[in-house]
Amino acid sequence: MTVVLTGATGFLGSRLLRALLAGGRSVAALGRDGAGQPLAARLEAALRACGAGDDELAGARERLTAVPADLTRPGLGLKPADHDRLAEKAEAVWHCAAALSLTGTEETLAPVNVTGTRRLTELAEHSPAHVPLLYVSTAYVAPGAAGGQPASSATGAVTGYEKTKRRAEAVVRDWAASRRRPALIMRPSVLATDRSLPAGAPRQPLSTPGTVLAELLGQMPPLLRRAVLHRRPGMPRIRVRLLGDPAAHLNVVPVEYAVEAALRLAALPHPPGVTTYHLVHPVETPAPLLVAAVNELVPGVELVLQPAVDGPNVIEQQINPVLANFLGRDWRSRAGGHTPLHEVLPGLAAPAPIDIGYLRAAMNVRTPDTA
């Protein structure tokens, strides 16, 4: 029997793949060849990026099968016989793949996020009746404090990504109800890790401010960059106003905790129909703490989070359009009304605390002076 997995080259999926292989499972990973590499090479690179060494990779090759596939095509682009054979051998179907973008539209993201989910239900339908469909969604499809709308008016309606994930959840629910099949919907919040990510590794959401920061620093003349990164006592700081809600919060959850929780949830008995779980941190992180972490990385800059920025300077003109969706709304867990994980999984260790040190490490900033 084989675990079928999509999204295995992504930030969460690669760690789920590593954990499944470490647990002795055989895995068929569906995905595309890309970036001049066949899927098998991309999978190996993803495993290496999340810590797998040569011995571990050698063992993984014995149990890992790369299955080139296209989520948007009927039958996943596979030959009918290969499609049915894959389904018949499945012991679980994990769907982690997604087009993730805070700026993408519903129309551009739907082929992967909605149609792709429908294609996975079609595969799961040909698997044995007890085999669960395990769908990774996002916590932000759940209604927020303002009826699902952002806490700040800076960003308007929910993102195209969230809209497509809501539609994808509806696909899973309709399939499970009509076929009386078991399905789990798992909703992680903002996934992160404080472990160093090598160049080329799958990015995490908190990489966004770090990447923007590194790009801006890379454009600075060397003398100014050194002044920003290594401020001398008594020297004035460069003030940069960030557009965002100072009262906002993020729910940052360590990806290692989310993977462990997901695997434990998958091992529970699954009745027909859908069960939904939020993979979130029990403590919300204030947005100003993230800004403070960035300030520690660039001691020569004073970052200030405020709801409006009048007459933006050159740096503010560059950074605010990129970070507006990230800092301009509230990213709480939205887990109200859902049973906390520690009650569902009493043996699950609590997640690491999200303090300023964790956030600083999670941004994984690589500058010309530190790379």
What span, in angstroms and rounded, lies between the C-alpha atoms of 52 and 162?
A: 32
Query: In a 3-state reduction of DSSP, which class is residue 358?
Result: helix
Whole-number Å distance between alpha carbons of 163 and 160: 5
Q: DSSP letter at 77?
A: G
Q: Which two tokens stand for residue 172?
A: 């899973």
Query: What are the pLDDT digits (tens) for 236-266?
Result: 888 889 999 999 999 999 999 999 999 999 9
Q: How far apart are CA 354 and CA 252, in angstroms?
A: 7
Q: How confident is the model at residue 8 (pLDDT cuts 50, 70, 90)?
A: very high
What the block records as the tokens of 363 is 């941004």
Where is 6: in which H helix or E strand? strand 2-6
At residue 149, the pLDDT reads: 39
Check residue 353 and give its pLDDT.
95
CA dist 222 and 244 (Å) reads 29
Q: How many CB atoms lie within 10 A of CB 267?
A: 10
Three-state secondary-structure class, residue 87: helix
What is the pLDDT at residue 144?
67
What does 181-193 look like in DSSP terms, one character per residue? -EEEEEEE-EEE-
- The 3-state DSSP class for residue 274 equals strand
pLDDT of residue 366: 65
Give the N- to C-terminal CA distance of the chain in Å, as an integer: 43
Partners of residue 238 on adjacent β-strands: 301
Residue ranges per structural domain of the chain: 2-193+252-279
pLDDT tens digits, one per residue of 21-66: 999 999 999 999 877 899 999 999 999 999 999 999 999 999 999 9
- pLDDT at 369 > cutoff 60: no
- The class that CATH gives domain 2-193+252-279 is alpha beta
